[in-house]
Amino acid sequence: MDDDGTLLPYLLAGAATVASRWADEALRPYGVTTRQFGLLTQLQREPELSTSEIARQLGVSRQSTHEMIGQLEQAGYLRRTAGVDGRSRRIDLTSNAPHLISRMSAAVGRVERRLTADLGDHEREALRLLLRRVLARATDDEAWLPTGGAR
């Protein structure tokens, strides 16, 4: 809590609402939501993620994750294939997904610059690191941390 009594969860929720709205607008031409973009980028970073791991990292239910995967598969970003054990399903990006993710990342990068226009480079990076640490702890998943696991 800061001097005026504003609690951090309230500030984070407000920032998330604005960031999601602006990012959803930027991603609309690609037919993807901010959460779906998050799923695609997580899969790009960690191709071996299971549905449960994706759900945990994104902070959504497995059911929501399955729905997003189905929508992204229908849109041509993902495909489901047989897992190594023959019973499980593997989720892979399609061949055109990396190019589209790159274009979407540029659009979301413009949103980031708009959101943080009043911050300097060091402040922006400090904010990114602090949010990564909060997410790593909240999800019990160090994949949120930068390479090297700095805490």
Give 96-144 pLDDT, tens digit per residue: 999 999 999 999 999 999 999 999 999 999 999 999 999 889 888 787 8
> Distance between terminal CA atoms of the chain?
21
Mean pLDDT estimate for the chain: 89
In the chain the beta strands, taken as DSSP E runs, fall at 78-82, 89-93
CA gap 68, 145 in Å, rounded: 24
Q: Are 59 and 20 in contact (CB under 8 A)?
A: no
The model scores a pTM over 0.75: yes
Quickly state the pLDDT bin for 57 (edges 50, 70, 90).
confident
DSSP secondary structure letter of residue 146: P
Lowest mean pLDDT among 6-20, 77-91, 108-122: 77-91
Q: Residue 148 pLDDT more than 60?
A: no
Q: Which amino acid is at 114?
A: R
Quickly state the pLDDT bin for 149 (edges 50, 70, 90).
very low
Q: Residue 47 pLDDT more than 60?
A: yes
Q: Residue 87 pLDDT more than 80?
A: no
Q: Are 56 and 141 in contact (CB under 8 A)?
A: yes
CA gap 94, 112 in Å, rounded: 26
